[in-house]
Amino acid sequence: MSTKRTRALTLLACGGLLVLTFGVPDGQAAKDLSDKSVRLLMAYAWGITPNKFTYPSGKTVTVDRAKPKQSMVPLDDARRIIKIGRLSAHAERCSLTNALLANFKTLVRTETKSKKWSEQQLLYIRNLHNFTVGFLNGNVKLIHDPDSGEKKVVFEAPGIRKADTCTEAEKNKISKLIGKYICEVDPKSVEGCS
């Protein structure tokens, strides 16, 4: 990739992803996320997808990097996953660890149960969610690689960014939005879903 193209993509990332800011935790900004921004997030998530990944259970998934379309998901599904990742980012920012974990686990569980995706796609879904959370919370940097001339995605340890403070109203809103999502997609997993 040329340096000019890399710079253009970086500018697009910064400009196009501004719609993901924390100002509207109800999902409106993510609904308005442009196709270009979704594709860019998808490309960066693809960039952090490893050739081979072993889950704690011992199960290993091998990804054919030469065939990204076989491992990635369609645009509208990616947009939906980014919206879920956005909720997780809000939860992380507000130190709602249980809500973040419930949100992520529900995503993984429902996507797995759907039987719609290959093992490679399920790994990619996790990476797209995690990249979205890291990007929004400032734990992702795009570093110039002098050898290839390309930008590489690097995750920093959580907590490097100055902790934001959330009001109780914001925490309650985020918790309710995550609860609503969980009740919509997996009502049997939580008591109180109607």
Angle between helices 35-47 and 75-93 (to 10 degrees): 80
Structure tokens at 133: 């959370």
pLDDT digits (tens, 9 = 90+) for 99-125: 999 999 999 999 999 999 999 999 999
pLDDT digits (tens, 9 = 90+) for 17-45: 444 444 445 544 445 789 999 999 999 89
Please give the full DSSP string across 41-74, using - where no structure is assigned.
Answer: HHHHHHHT--SEEE-TTS-EEE--TT-HHHHS--
